[in-house]
Copies of this chain bind each other. A is one copy, B any other.
Amino acid sequence: MQTIAELGEFGLIEVFTRDLGLDAAVSVGPGDDAAVFLVNGSAVCSTDLLVEGVHFRTDWSGGADVGRKCVAVNVADLEAMGATPVSLVVALGAPASTPLTWVRQFMTGMREEAQTAGVTIVGGDTTAAERITVCVTVVGQTEGRAPVLRSGARPGQVVAMVGRLGWAAAGLAVLKRGFRSPRAVVEAQRTPQVPYRQGRRAAEAGATAMCDVSDGLVGDLTHLANASGVVIDVDTSRLVVAEPLTVVAQATGSDPLSFVLTGGEDHALVACFEPGFVPDDWHVIGRVLPAQDDGRPAVLVDGEQFSGPGGYDHFA
């Protein structure tokens, strides 16, 4: 089995940069000290660090899954601003013993997901590391739209979402018990299905606040409620509890709704709109209320304070 040690750093860079298919906006791609590209409007930038054993396991996910996931979670942040992704750079740390096959699959996954997301891979960095470590950074553009922050929710608005919730968490519950099915949730854990282009759509429809659900619906809505100084009330009767989630909940003796309310890593988008301005493909899941009597922002679930676990803390 050929490893990246035999290939060497410059051979590895060649694997990375082959057939990238640069967009017309990119004037300098990989191979120089930095990439150069055009940005229409303001630049929008987000970075994500993914570490083997924390964000993925090589026995659960193949190289292509990891490559796709790295692009997806990163571009989701730009969608959550209502921005359009333009360019992405990737830094890979890996042990010298990493199979070349894994790296090839990783790059194939990255390229495929980048194409789906509408972003061009323009450069990167490689280094030795004890565990596979990937840092992806995306730069996008506002194209004249105002970025949609977390702080713009106003009482009287509705909260709507697009994408999936709870699938990746259900997949994790399955994988942790050593199973590989239902396949749909296991696939969702390996790579999220980000609702690409829906962030811009929300911005165009007048969304005043938006975020992606990376840590869990209640946790991420809490950040949004705090930033906006409002209360958000989630109506669970409007949440989709998909059939595979019910199957997993039954098999693991858990509540399928808890996957939906607290499961992260699906990268659905949630946003606040004036009633009547919710775009097609989005559906309403709650409403924005004024801050409580004590002035505190909060997230309610069916009108009650939510008592379950909140978001994910990497250091807890």
Interface residues, chain A, with chain B CB atoms under 8 Å away: 4-5, 7-10, 12, 27-28, 31-39, 42-51, 53-55, 77-78, 80-81, 83, 86-87, 89-93, 96, 122-131, 133, 135, 137, 139-140, 142, 147, 149-151, 210-212, 227, 313-316
CB contact between A33 and one of B27, B81, B142 (< 8 Å): that residue: B81
> With A45-B139, A129-B54 known to touch, is A315 a contact of B35 (CB < 8 Å)?
no
> With A4-B315, A78-B34 known to touch, is A51 a contact of B137 (CB < 8 Å)?
no
| A26 nearest CB across to chain B (Å) | 9
> With A9-B314, A135-B91 known to touch, is A28 a contact of B147 (CB < 8 Å)?
yes
Contact yes or no, A5 B128, CB < 8 A? no
A-B contact pairs, 23 of them (CB 8 A): A8-B316, A9-B316, A12-B315, A31-B150, A32-B151, A34-B77, A34-B78, A34-B140, A36-B44, A37-B43, A38-B43, A43-B86, A45-B139, A47-B89, A49-B92, A51-B128, A51-B130, A54-B129, A91-B135, A127-B314, A129-B131, A130-B130, A135-B137
Q: Which residues of B contact A36 (CB under 8 A)?
A: 42-45, 81, 83, 142, 147
Contact yes or no, A37 B42, CB < 8 A? yes
Contact yes or no, B35 A46, CB < 8 A? yes
Q: Which residues of B contact A78 (CB under 8 A)?
A: 33-34
Contact yes or no, B313 A10, CB < 8 A? yes
Contact yes or no, A313 B8, CB < 8 A? yes
Q: Which residues of B contact A42 (CB under 8 A)?
A: 27, 36-39
Q: Which residues of B contact A39 (CB under 8 A)?
A: 39, 42-43
Q: Which residues of B contact A50 (CB under 8 A)?
A: 127
With both beta carbons as reference points, the residue of chain B lying nearest to A94 in the complex is identified as: B315
> With A34-B78, A81-B32 known to touch, is A49 a contact of B133 (CB < 8 Å)?
yes
Q: Which residues of B contact A149 (CB under 8 A)?
A: 28, 32
Contact yes or no, A51 B142, CB < 8 A? no
Contact yes or no, A128 B89, CB < 8 A? no
Complex Cα spacing A279 to B43, Å: 32
Contact yes or no, A80 B130, CB < 8 A? no
Contact yes or no, B34 A93, CB < 8 A? no
Contact yes or no, B9 A48, CB < 8 A? no
Contact yes or no, A126 B314, CB < 8 A? yes
Complex Cα spacing A135 to B92, Å: 10
| A133 nearest CB across to chain B (Å) | 6
| A151 nearest CB across to chain B (Å) | 8
Q: Which 10 A-B residue pairs are closest in the complex by CB-CB distance?
A: A135-B135, A49-B91, A34-B46, A33-B80, A137-B137, A47-B89, A33-B77, A128-B314, A9-B313, A39-B43
> With A47-B135, A127-B314, A131-B130 known to touch, is A33 a contact of B211 (CB < 8 Å)?
yes
| A308 nearest CB across to chain B (Å) | 18
